[in-house]
Structure 1
């Protein structure tokens, strides 16, 4: 603050001696410092050109500075404000895609299109005219804010939650195909083994899978591995940084801290028989809690294919987001975890967060002051319990259907090994 003040009023202060009154008492000893880092040394060098004297003044007596720092007009409100979409109202009449719909809807709604407060909607989603704003929205849905460089389908579904324009898929495909980060880290990996799905779970965080990603670059905090936990029903995942040498007791501590705290205890756990899970302490701990350990079927490491898929997705997102900053990848895990749990899952057709909590958390796109379109929807008044039950029933059906499709695809032209 002192350096900033002198830089601002430098032209008045250099010619004459002046007194600095501050409630920061340690400034009195500024010139007597023996050891300074590079930044402080630069500041002291700048200050030495001024003929100043520093005098300490208690904060309660420094009423002038206190009053200036608390001026109502200077207070900054920490809030989220993103420029709205007011300007797009003027674009509809000249837009090649929406001009006809907009003109017709001025009289009455047509084919799912309607006008509200000057905005054109398609079944509750605001229509976006041609222009740079489309690319901005795609970029935000793909890599911006809290997203994770997902593919075309997930980016498209996230975008369709609030927006509509013709040929949206084509635009998303074009953007994703040109994303440098995605091109550098993504590759198609086809499974070469058979598929034996586990029984479908009935509710969130009752049946879970665990795995580890080992051998990562060591971060500044000493982390070199990731403890991966996936709920087999909702597909929600937690990514916990850890050490490769962590024993069963440390892993159990992380599990209680990051999972049990939020979701309670699971009934079954699918593990890969890692030494961390097979240790005597781990077995004893979970046997006391009545947890049943399920292990991979012999010669069928794909039995827990779900966690392997999450493992690959996490690896891709890590490479795409931290962009070579190997010393801080653990700081990006909360971002990646949020992104993974927020987007719609291919199997359930719903985001993991919505399956668990019944709603989606806000993202930067949700903070855009969009006009209210809630009047378009006429939902039946149902209790939260009924809503959750219907949601979970739908999820279970989708999982069963996906398991059948996957088993059929994997079985084509493949033979199981016989031992």
Structure 2
């Protein structure tokens, strides 16, 4: 430490170390003396032979430690070391010795004590999205939006957000001003972000028009998706297939599920190269979990219990292929005990489990599109699962999330909003016992 031109203390160098196990048992006086000895030894090249210098300490007894007639054996061993230096010890109270507190008394290391009068007080942390704030700010540069806001007789609770709802439509959308960069940011959140998963033209349009509105949205979506490099690279060209033999349509969620494996993925840190896929055949909701290539029937059963049974109970039947993992004796015994009938695919028509095969293809495209964002395929499975369950399914006309819970999940882009379609339509209009009424005519497969 040295003094500047105005006489203030300036630190030249900090040095510290942890106490050894035996040193932790030293009395306080010896610990303070040990710190001084360590500092002199560490800066020996600067202090030895340089003339008299001062050691400042907030422990007053060190001023006479080297001159005291009553010393311990440890102190006696250290005396020969101290006599090599020409120094004096000066006492500086702790409140004045602030330069030494930078390491020993950091404010963020301070122990916080709870106020007894505030025990049990809950704190609510409500994150907000900068996107919504940018929408509000962009209204000032849009003449039409600015005029609408100026004539608004009763500004909404959305802090002067313009909201739009079509005739005979209860969905409330945020009006986006005429700002190209802002609209491109919104398109990114609903097409390129991991929570979206590059769903394609139609599904992207349905997804983001649930929350935002501006003129000619469909043209924007078509142009944006057509120019998406990831979609062009990872998604195969569409081709026609022969009609498949359909299974009977379930009458409620999680009455019938399909299961399958996807293998051949890059190995993660736990040497897992596969994914087990569970699909509810009614709502099309998907659960995914990483598995090793040598996954056993017992491990698969545990994944089933952790992801499906824990949340939805046992299905009446499970559709699978003839993979030994499903036909093992363990599965047969479990299904017999629980009253479940295992519906096996026929040998001549393995496409009867087309539901999971379709999910496997979508999952493969998603994992390819996530390759630039995640180092391991297993890391992106939660995002892939969310993206699949948040897309409108052609056979139901709704997302799996909505069919299961009668609401849409809240996306990061909508944080901070109050009135939004993310909570779904009015729950009173669609109680759980009328869920199937949502998709009576559209349910084709």
Question: Structure 2 length normalisation: TM-score?
Answer: 0.67
2:192 and 2:198 in contact (8 A); partners too: yes
User: For residue 42 of structure 1, what is the aligned residue in structure 2?
Assistant: none
Are residues 108 and 190 of structure 1, via their aligned partners in 2, closer, same or farther at CA, if it must alter by over 3 Å?
farther
- Partner Cα distance (2:298, 2:164) in 1: 54
- Name the CA distance, whole Å, in 2 between partners of 1:348 and 1:365: 26
Match of 1:147 in 2: 196
Distance 1:154 1:293 in 2: 33
Q: Are 1:82 and 2:132 an aligned pair?
A: no
Partner of 2:210: 161
- The equivalent residue for 1:221 is 270
Residues 113-128 of structure 1 correspond to what in structure 2 (within 5 A)? 118-123=160-165, 124-128=172-176
Distance 1:299 1:137, change over 3 A: same
Deviation at 1:137, TM superposition (A): 0.5
- In our comparison, the structure showing a higher alpha carbon Rg is 2
Q: 1:19 to 1:280 in 2, by over 3 A?
A: closer
State the secondary structure of the residue aligned to 1:322: coil
C-alpha distance after superposition, 1:38-67 (max 9, x if no partner): xxxxxxxxxx999899x9xxxxxx777468
Which residue does the alignment assign to 1:260?
309
Q: By how many angstroms is 1:299 displaced? A: 2.5
Deviation at 1:324, TM superposition (A): 8.6
Name the structure 2 match of 1:311: 360
The answer on 1:196 being equivalent to 2:245 is yes
Q: Deviations over 1:360-401 (max 9, x none)?
A: 22210221x346468xx995945xxx522333222343213x
Q: Decide which of 11, 14, 30 is 2:12's aligned counterpart.
A: 14
How far does residue 175 in structure 1 lie from its aligned partner after superposition? 1.4
Deviation at 1:108, TM superposition (A): 9.2
Task: Determine whether 1:337 maps to 2:385.
Answer: yes
Compute the TM-score of the two structures, normalised by the length of structure 1. Answer: 0.71
Report what 1:359 is aligned to: 407
Question: 1:320 matched to which residue of 2?
Answer: 369
Candidates 374, 377, 393, aligned match of 2:437: 393
Give the conservation status (yes or no) of the 8 Å contact 2:374–2:380.
Answer: no
In the alignment, the residues of structure 2 paired with residue 296 and residue 265 of structure 1 have an alpha-carbon distance, to the nearest angstrom, of 20
Please say if residues 117 and 371 of structure 1, whose CA atoms lie closer than 8 Å, have aligned partners that are also in contact.
no
Structure 2 SS opposite 1:226: strand
Larger deviation: 298-307 or 220-229?
Answer: 298-307
Aligned residue for 1:398, secondary structure, equals: coil
Give the structure 1 partner of residue 299 of structure 2. Answer: 250
Q: Compute the displacement of 1:289 (Å).
A: 1.4
- Out of 215, 233, 243, the position equivalent to 2:282 is 233
1-structure distance, mates of 2:229, 2:427: 45
- Find the counterpart in structure 2 of residue 27 from structure 1: 18
CA shift in 2, pair 1:115/1:364, >3 Å: closer
CA distance, structure 2, for counterparts of residue 67 and residue 219 of structure 1: 37
- Are the structure 2 counterparts of residues 27 and 394 from structure 1 closer, same or farther at C-alpha, using a change threshold of 3 Å? same
Q: State the number of aligned residues.
A: 343
**What residue is the counterpart of 1:417 in the other structure?**
none
- 1:107, distance to aligned residue in structure 2 (A): 7.9
Give me the CA root mean square deviation.
3.9
Q: Which position in structure 1 is the counterpart of 2:350?
A: 301
CA distance 1:117–1:224, shift in 2 (3 Å): closer
Q: Deviations over 1:196-215 (max 9, x none)?
A: 22111111111000111112
Question: Would the aligned equivalents of 2:163 and 2:173 in 1 still touch at CA under 8 Å?
Answer: yes
Unaligned segments of structure 2, at least 5 residues: 1-8, 21-41, 47-54, 59-103, 114-122, 166-171
CA distance in 2 between partners of 1:356 and 1:77 (Å): 28
8 Å CA contact 1:106–1:115 kept in 2: the answer is: no
Partners of 2:287 and 2:199 lie apart in 1 by: 18
Aligned partner (choices 205, 209, 214) of residue 258 of structure 2 = 209
What is the distance in 2 between the residues matched to 1:168 and 1:357? 28
How far is the alpha carbon of 1:77 from its aligned partner? 9.3
Which of 269, 282, 287 pairs up with 2:331?
A: 282
- Match status 1:176 vs 2:225: yes
Question: Contact conserved, 2:407 with 2:425, CA < 8 A, in 1?
Answer: no
Q: Deviations over 1:8-51 (max 9, x none)?
A: xxx94326xx665xxxxx7346xxxxxxxxxxxxxxxxxx9998
Tell me by how many angstroms 1:232 deviates. Answer: 0.2
**Partner of residue 72, structure 2:** none
Distance 1:371 1:242, change over 3 A: closer
Structure 2 partner of 1:32: none
